[in-house]
Amino acid sequence: MSGHYVVLSRKYRPKNLDDLIGQEVMAQFIRTCLNENKVPHAFLFHGIRGIGKTTTARILARCLSCVGNNDPSRPTSSPCGTCKSCIAIDNDNHMDVMEFDAASRTGVDDIREIVESTQYVPVLGKSKIFIIDEVHMLSKSAFNALLKTLEEPPPHVKFIFATTELSKVPETVLSRCMTFQLNPIPTAKLAEHVLDIANKEGFTMEAEAAEIVATESGGSVRDALSMLDQIIMLSYKEGSITSDTVIKTIGGARQCDVDAILDFVITGNPSDATQLTEHVIASGCAPFTLFSSLQSTLYKRITEHVRKRDKKLSNLLYLWQILLKQTENMKSAEHPEHVLIAAIVILAHTASFPKIEDLMIKDQPTADNSYNLVQKILARFPGSDVSEIG
């Protein structure tokens, strides 16, 4: 490897609405606004980090500024990519597109500067665009300074805000924006994207390896691609990416181990379940990562049972509830591995609980078989005196 390495999230940053993955509904909405030339003067994109908020903001800026299309009075939903405006945006030096990070420029003076510059007409493109990232970080006085301009901006001015914390954006600002929530990218879709980029970079990649990366990144494209950056660094010699390499790089768990732990749990074998869990953690997998993998694997099994209309579902749902309740404990625990092991033990013991399906009565309920049901339930618990009933 020689020269300057461009990180994958930058190299493969989407440049058009069509390239955005997992945000099809929003993309279609924006496309319609642009094609109908009914573009609001302020947009706000919110959602977790790394799912494309600022990327969408830049794509929108591109659509609003492109001068390569025939009608100069209208925006376009498919910017040409070759005009001076498109090129300037790609090179981050467009004179009419200003990007601010509210995390570092939170003060009222910064906003006054923006407000002042809205008076000048665009130099290169059709609009003057202000992208404010992490807009919730602006101070109260900064928001107030912005409000009047946001209410009645000059016709050539567009504001595009992005935030990870919508609840911290004042209602007065929200009510003046067209708001879009960006969703975490579904695992299967993200895995496909990771695999595609690995191939474009000249690597073969096991499907399971891509799936681990996608699961680990929690639906964030940026996190998935920075993981892939690291994995690629370690895979240059081999030219191929295996799930073992991924696990070594990110400290994940092998799917076969996760499946085996879950099988031990379901068959009521706490001893083997905890032993394997300890082994996986000792091999370098972070407890929370293993916990998340167990959760997503259990989720997959539940959906498979639902699809097959399998009636023996209640036990899995019960396990799911127990795992879900441990999420916060896992996050806040000083020793998350202890919480995980304890959860595994509890889960494995639930296998000996009576299952709802076993207790169901096939015929119509009558006083007689209701009595049988109560007896049946009580008989499962040691020490209960069945003769007292009735």
Residues of this chain that interact with Zn ion (CB under 5 A) are 66, 68, 79-80, 83, 86
As measured in angstroms, the least distance from the Cβ of 80 to Zn ion is 4
In the bound state with Zn ion, the residue whose beta carbon lies nearer, of 39 and 80, is 80
For residue 74, the one-letter residue type is: R
As measured in angstroms, the least distance from the Cβ of 98 to Zn ion is 18
Q: Strand pairing partners for 132?
A: 100, 161
In the bound state with Zn ion, the residue whose beta carbon lies nearer, of 85 and 293, is 85
As measured in angstroms, the least distance from the Cβ of 289 to Zn ion is 43
As measured in angstroms, the least distance from the Cβ of 19 to Zn ion is 15
In the bound state with Zn ion, the residue whose beta carbon lies nearer, of 126 and 222, is 126
Could you count the other beta carbons within 10 Å of the beta carbon of residue 283? 13
CA dihedral sign of residues 14, 17, 23, 26: positive
Q: What angle do CA 337, 355, 318 make, to 5 degrees?
A: 35
Q: Strand pairing partners for 211?
A: none
Tokens read off for 35: 């094609």
In the bound state with Zn ion, the residue whose beta carbon lies nearer, of 61 and 212, is 61
In the bound state with Zn ion, the residue whose beta carbon lies nearer, of 14 and 218, is 14
As measured in angstroms, the least distance from the Cβ of 86 to Zn ion is 3
Which region, left, alpha or beta, applies to residue 284 given φ > 0 means left and ψ of -120 to 50 means alpha? left
As measured in angstroms, the least distance from the Cβ of 129 to Zn ion is 14
As measured in angstroms, the least distance from the Cβ of 122 to Zn ion is 14
Nearest to 304 by CA among 242, 276, 262, 342: 262
CA dihedral sign of residues 363, 367, 368, 374: positive
In the bound state with Zn ion, the residue whose beta carbon lies nearer, of 64 and 351, is 64
Which region, left, alpha or beta, applies to residue 45 given φ > 0 means left and ψ of -120 to 50 means alpha? beta
In the bound state with Zn ion, the residue whose beta carbon lies nearer, of 85 and 292, is 85
As measured in angstroms, the least distance from the Cβ of 61 to Zn ion is 11
In the bound state with Zn ion, the residue whose beta carbon lies nearer, of 72 and 239, is 72
Nearest to 104 by CA among 137, 57, 140: 137
As measured in angstroms, the least distance from the Cβ of 62 to Zn ion is 7
In the bound state with Zn ion, the residue whose beta carbon lies nearer, of 86 and 177, is 86
